[in-house]
Structure 1
């Protein structure tokens, strides 16, 4: 490359001149392609650089950062320096495509041990009746029940995720129970009601009753009926929990729902009914795909979401018999699309934002559709006739490294369920194979690890920094989400996607891909919105 001609309309600088502003370092090709270590392109003052390909006459590789020419001269090899040019950020933004590769530190894949100070506070916007509460990862350091107890392994997380996804598939299709052949075991997936309870990831703290009893509950868009464990409940009937059991006899606002009521009939119609007690109380029963079950009395109570923010007449299951392994949560907050859901009782609109790191809080907002802030991209909301619990969207395209993949629209015909409880995203066969191939090619400088529960994992041993391509998901209506890099694309060094089944099966937008986006479910206007960098 002739360095006498500035590339991409850049300004040339004299040796030793202090640039003093963010600039873009451009090379004729990727550093690893010419045998130059990536660290040469990085400066200690700017450990993370944003990179992009741009085809001019050759492939250009650019990295933004704050540099001085003297620093560049001191760190660059003669071979590399002959291929360098400097161009302003203005040129990058106006003359080149948006950055499509990101250089990240491998330390970003490691979990953080301490909770960052929360910037998400309980909040009530009285102008539009929106309430916002902190949302944290169940196994992260910000969890209210955080302890030194062993967290589930990466393998166990993926096993639970796969069982949840396969259960959803069977529920949607109303098929017979499926058996999956894993690498090391078979997973039975019965067609019971309820999702896979041990796959839940995010929790909020609410108050039940008057006076309010604090309860840590997992949030789930794949469930409708909320529930908590209630006294009386013996140790053989209920799982140990951190918080005291809610005792309905000590609450002045508790009421059981009678069997003759319309609510009880609706509960039975939605397959949550558990019959009637001798006292005429409406029963509920849920059996989850992992064998967990809870039964008890369908009830109403006062739910405290934040200081001074209560929901009177909150419908929930007061469970007196729960069969499950001990968990770090006390119950479940159902946010599905059926009438029993809290979301439907609270205006039919809600949103949440899942943080990029488990050491930070996100948020859950109820009533979020009444006064929508700017910055959202929307896609139409669909539903599944056989199971209207789920929120469906239509994926129409995928881009990797700034380039849209050649995937025909019919490859996405199964639709996609937006799910807070699934970890990795499940794509239909054709789309997944195209994504996997493109991502592996873009990450070709790093060796692949042997196949496990995810088939695209990389060996980053000895690497301080790695180059990760941006991945974008394109939905009908034009909504496009650029996944957070790296924590919205990769999980423990693996591509956080898997194959969900044939092209006519539903896909699943997992919670890893949703990180840092506020995801808004507006059932009144039948749309799902995405707002970037919300938490």
Structure 2
């Protein structure tokens, strides 16, 4: 069996004056699903159904963390992992990659109180290029005031408390980061050294890489180096979290910089949909505006005041709240406004000619149908985003075989912030242009990207 492989990815963030590239750079890297056979978190004795259920439970817990807005993410709740290499000589670090987080941090010695970590912990004293950052630096000022501690002006301290009572406390520092097996080295990259960390962090992981929209995040600080663009293509779960790896296992991919698939000569006639990002607080999250969803011939306006009528009035767009949903690669399921979800569920029941049954085993899905082993006919759905961006979702994006004989709808109701999860994004190239403040969706076979 091929040994687990990870593409080394850098933090590459902050203090970008030390990157000498004058033209935008493109970096293509693997994203390893945490339940993939390529992941050290993979548990071989679990079934595909077991892995699905664990992923769904993480999504539900993570959604409740977004509600509080007191934290960037649920620790270890992100679904994709990447390796970091930091210091001189390079020190490899495994971390969760997450679009719902800004701060990048890792456990560091000397640990006053660290959670158990199976791999070695980063020791700054072993790196000849390591430096603590004082409170006068831009990275320190990018921290929220409540998370920043400057009792000693020579050291920028930080404390993050998460919604499940997990926490990390430490200081900001800078060091050299190596990308892609020493092909690129970047000096003076800023990150958090966590010396007091506890809670629900995974023993296999060293920390978190922030891919959010705030000033402190990975992609924001890369800035012009990548043309303020990044994109990813996520494999369907059945390709990603099978029980055994194939001879040449496919992985999801992330691209920092221009993705050629969005050029007119590369889409092969396939039209991509582009919708504006909405500026809202906290700026960590990427906010989009859903105007309506179509099931069959029924178009439902995404509005709590109008959804009961299960109709769409093109002149009523003002009733749709701007930035009513967060797009998040780290949450598996999609969560929709509760009243709207009721109308959507009713439309699906009307459209699907199968016996509706309860999700007795998992008790998490609201809409399930009895099915045999054969393929079942399920409707296409179309999500209408602001700006005329219509994204057609196939059943792989909206339904899952939760167990033998049971097919369930993978969108759930919520009274809180909506989340457009990663199942709905699979087999799309999802491109973020932070300069133009847009997100684009291009249908694709992600196993070939």
**Fold agreement, TM-score > 0.5:** yes
1:378 to 274, 277, 293: 274
Return the offset for 1:366.
Answer: 1.5
Return the offset for 1:491.
Answer: 6.1
Return the offset for 1:514.
Answer: 0.8
Contact 2:290 2:325 in 1 (8 A): yes
Match of 1:65 in 2: none
Q: Does 1:214 align with 2:122?
A: no
Return the offset for 1:310.
Answer: 3.2
Higher mean displacement: 160-169 or 432-441: 160-169
Match of 1:365 in 2: 255
Match of 1:94 in 2: none
Q: Please list, as runs of the form range in 1=range in 2, the aligned pairs for 1:130-169 lying within 5 A after superposition.
A: 130-148=26-44, 157-169=55-67
| Offset from partner CA, 1:104-149 (integer Å, 9 cap, x none) | xxxxxxxxxx999999999xx9974010100021122122443447
Q: Please list, as runs of the form range in 1=range in 2, the aligned pairs for 1:289-438 lying within 5 A after superposition.
A: 289-307=163-181, 308-325=183-200, 327=202, 328-347=204-223, 348-357=228-237, 358-359=240-241, 360-368=250-258, 372-374=262-264, 375=267, 376-384=272-280, 386-401=281-296, 403-405=298-300, 406-407=311-312, 409=317, 412-413=320-321, 415-438=324-347
Match of 1:481 in 2: 391
Aligned-partner Cα distance in 2 for 1:519–1:116 = 29
Match of 1:80 in 2: none
* Secondary structure at the counterpart of residue 304 of structure 1: strand
Return the offset for 1:367.
Answer: 2.3
Aligned-partner Cα distance in 2 for 1:117–1:533 = 26
1:170 to 59, 68, 72: 68
Q: Does 1:456 align with 2:367?
A: yes
Aligned-partner Cα distance in 2 for 1:365–1:491 = 30
Q: Please list, as runs of the form range in 1=range in 2, the aligned pairs for 1:106-145 lying within 5 A after superposition.
A: 128-145=24-41
Which blocks of at least 5 consecutive residues in structure 1 are unaligned? 1-113, 172-191
Provide closer, same or farther for how the CA distance between residues 369 and 355 of structure 1 changes in structure 2, counting only shifts above 3 A. closer
Return the offset for 1:317.
Answer: 0.7
Return the offset for 1:325.
Answer: 3.4
Provide closer, same or farther for how the CA distance between residues 311 and 444 of structure 1 changes in structure 2, counting only shifts above 3 A. farther
Return the offset for 1:165.
Answer: 1.9
Match of 1:34 in 2: none
Return the offset for 1:510.
Answer: 0.7
Provide closer, same or farther for how the CA distance between residues 310 and 480 of structure 1 changes in structure 2, counting only shifts above 3 A. farther
Return the offset for 1:352.
Answer: 1.5
Contact 2:212 2:284 in 1 (8 A): yes
Match of 1:189 in 2: none
Return the offset for 1:218.
Answer: 1.2
Return the offset for 1:196.
Answer: 1.3
* Secondary structure at the counterpart of residue 317 of structure 1: strand
Provide closer, same or farther for how the CA distance between residues 395 and 294 of structure 1 changes in structure 2, counting only shifts above 3 A. same
Q: Does 1:469 align with 2:379?
A: yes
If asked which structure has higher relative contact order (CA below 8 Å, sep 6+), I would say 2
1:284 to 137, 142, 158: 158
Provide closer, same or farther for how the CA distance between residues 411 and 400 of structure 1 changes in structure 2, counting only shifts above 3 A. farther
Contact 2:102 2:216 in 1 (8 A): yes
Aligned-partner Cα distance in 1 for 2:165–2:2 = 33
Aligned-partner Cα distance in 1 for 2:6–2:91 = 24
Provide closer, same or farther for how the CA distance between residues 389 and 491 of structure 1 changes in structure 2, counting only shifts above 3 A. farther
Contact 2:273 2:440 in 1 (8 A): yes
* Secondary structure at the counterpart of residue 363 of structure 1: strand
Contact 1:118 1:361 in 2 (8 A): no
Aligned-partner Cα distance in 2 for 1:131–1:296 = 30
Match of 2:117 in 1: 241
Return the offset for 1:425.
Answer: 0.8
Contact 2:72 2:284 in 1 (8 A): no
Return the offset for 1:302.
Answer: 2.2
Contact 2:354 2:370 in 1 (8 A): no
Match of 2:18 in 1: none
Provide closer, same or farther for how the CA distance between residues 198 and 206 of structure 1 changes in structure 2, counting only shifts above 3 A. closer
Q: Does 1:273 align with 2:148?
A: yes
Contact 1:393 1:416 in 2 (8 A): yes
Aligned-partner Cα distance in 2 for 1:435–1:135 = 32
Which blocks of at least 5 consecutive residues in structure 2 are unaligned? 10-20, 242-249, 301-310
Contact 1:396 1:474 in 2 (8 A): yes
Aligned-partner Cα distance in 1 for 2:61–2:91 = 33
Provide closer, same or farther for how the CA distance between residues 478 and 511 of structure 1 changes in structure 2, counting only shifts above 3 A. same
Match of 1:12 in 2: none
Aligned-partner Cα distance in 2 for 1:157–1:149 = 16
Contact 1:395 1:473 in 2 (8 A): yes
> TM-score under structure 2 normalisation?
0.78
* Secondary structure at the counterpart of residue 58 of structure 2: helix
Contact 1:134 1:363 in 2 (8 A): yes
Match of 1:230 in 2: 108
Match of 1:494 in 2: 408
> TM-score under structure 1 normalisation?
0.66
Aligned-partner Cα distance in 1 for 2:443–2:105 = 32
| Offset from partner CA, 1:13-68 (integer Å, 9 cap, x none) | xxxxxxxxxxxxxxxxxxxxxxxxxxxxxxxxxxxxxxxxxxxxxxxxxxxxxxxx
Q: Does 1:532 align with 2:407?
A: no
Aligned-partner Cα distance in 2 for 1:154–1:129 = 36
Aligned-partner Cα distance in 2 for 1:116–1:450 = 37
